[in-house]
Structure 1
Amino acid sequence: MVGFNYLTFKINVLWKPMAKMDCVDLGKDFFLIEFSDDGDYDKVLCGGPRFVGEHFLAIKPWGPYFKALEATFSSVANWVRLLELPIEFYDTTILRQIGSAIGLVLRTDSFIASSSRGSYARLCIQINLEKPLINIVRVRHLKQKFMYKGIGSLCFCCGRLGHKQENCCYNIRPNEKERVEDEVASPTPKVS
């Protein structure tokens, strides 16, 4: 449990907002952060998991009808890298389709949207932590690996925080494990 004043101070230090940022205590360790600047919002939403002291700070977009007493922690926004992705898949529509195998795609990397190329593509995805994390999908005949940024204490077997897959003591049903090899519908690459 983190106090309101301490949290407000720490997130200002971590996030370094360019404009005004308001914090509202919703109770039950839930806080609403209101941004005056869209750039600050995008940076924080897609900045990945953060820690305030030893406490994990889960970040997700606001949803209507939120009640702290009934809320559960089941998802987190996080950057995911698609390592060594073939250049023909560097299209925002195709990247969103590939990312949707993991969860709701919130953002694509701005360099990708502007057609700049790097050694990987990046997507900010709302990850469901109640399901095992997917680390490979098939795109046509290619097996594409995902790398989750900054989630060192998330288990890819059970999807829970606090331990890694090699130390997992939870049993996962076989049909959930098969999600690792889900196939993405074959996108038609954009030819330039």
Structure 2
Amino acid sequence: MEDELANLSILDAEEEAFQEDVVVIEQNFQFSLVGCCLTDSVVNFSTLHNTMADLWYPIRGICITDIGNKCYLFQFFNEVDVQRVMAGTPWFFNIHLLLLHQIQKRENPSVLSLIYSEFWIQVHELPAGLMSEPMARQFSDFLGKFLHYNTSIPSSGNKNYMRIHVLLDVTAPLKRKKKIQVGGVLIVYGSFKYEKLSLFCFICGKLGHGESYCPFRLRIDPSKIIFRWDLSIRAVPR
């Protein structure tokens, strides 16, 4: 009986909370990015550290930290380096897309969901009259989120195309084309080509893996697999 009472006393003591004033400790993430590689493969941190430091070559240096779950903290020491890196997206490490996000005030880099990346996308096969900012915004809303529109009209050979800057959800399949009906009569298709496009799957159209490692292979008979994507969506380097 005494032992049981002693055990109850211990349990009661465990439930008595220490009283402590709330102290908010904010880590300074100014000039910092959080990033991860879009791959299920193991990433060698030492190699990534050296590769990205050499590739970006920041004016004031860089501190790169592994914060777990295949995520990395990139700490710069001035705004110029941060903006130069963000302006150069998308970046890649060993052909894998490096997803980057500039950390905002009160954001915790360890719990951020990294599923977006910026891409410049070319829209081909459009009549000249459809190459406008309103049309660029419509295409951007279809592809992802509108960021910027190149007001000049680039050309490939003797053909012009529209160029738009879009924030893409990398968990979604890449869009290949979009149907446009003009005046209720004329129907055209705008075809998309992605600049700096690296590894993607010809089966499911998603970034981050090739067709050999596509999850659809686990659910579909090999004889019924259809390759709906191909290299035609990769833009020729400008």
TM (norm. structure 1) is: 0.63
Structure 1 unaligned spans of 5+: 173-192
Indicate whether 1:130 and 2:166 are aligned. no
Structure 2 residue aligned with 1:118: 154
* Partner deviation per Cα, 1:52-109 (whole Å, 9 max, x = no partner): x46542234545654343334322222211123322232223212212101012222x
User: C-alpha distance in 2, partners of 1:62/1:96?
Assistant: 26
- Alpha carbons of structure 1 residues 40 and 152: separation in structure 2 relative to 1, 3 Å: closer
How far the C-alpha of 1:124 sits from its partner, in A, is: 2.2
Match of 1:161 among 203, 208, 221: 208
User: What's the RMSD between the two structures over aligned residues?
Assistant: 3.4
Structure 1 residue aligned with 2:92: 50
* Partner deviation per Cα, 1:139-179 (whole Å, 9 max, x = no partner): 22221111122333222625241114x8744269xxxxxxx
* Partner deviation per Cα, 1:13-58 (whole Å, 9 max, x = no partner): 43466x657556472323346562386255323xx2422x465422
Match of 1:73 among 111, 114, 122: 114
Are 1:49 and 1:151, in contact at CA under 8 Å, matched by a contact in 2? no
> Which one-letter code corresponds to 1:121 in the other structure?
M
Q: Which has more radius of gyration? A: 2
User: C-alpha distance in 1, partners of 2:61/2:131?
Assistant: 34
Indicate whether 1:27 and 2:71 are aligned. no
Matched pairs, number: 161
SS of the residue aligned with 1:58? strand
> Which one-letter code corresponds to 2:209 in the other structure?
G
Are 2:170 and 2:206, in contact at CA under 8 Å, matched by a contact in 1? yes
Structure 2 residue aligned with 1:185: none
User: C-alpha distance in 1, partners of 2:147/2:122?
Assistant: 14
Structure 2 residue aligned with 1:40: 84
> Which one-letter code corresponds to 2:133 in the other structure?
T
User: C-alpha distance in 1, partners of 2:102/2:210?
Assistant: 25
- Alpha carbons of structure 1 residues 151 and 54: separation in structure 2 relative to 1, 3 Å: closer
Match of 1:99 among 115, 118, 140: 140
Structure 1 residue aligned with 2:191: 145
Structure 1 residue aligned with 2:100: 59
User: C-alpha distance in 1, partners of 2:175/2:193?
Assistant: 10
> Which one-letter code corresponds to 1:99 in the other structure?
S
- Alpha carbons of structure 1 residues 118 and 24: separation in structure 2 relative to 1, 3 Å: same
* Partner deviation per Cα, 1:101-128 (whole Å, 9 max, x = no partner): 01012222xxx32xx3222222222211
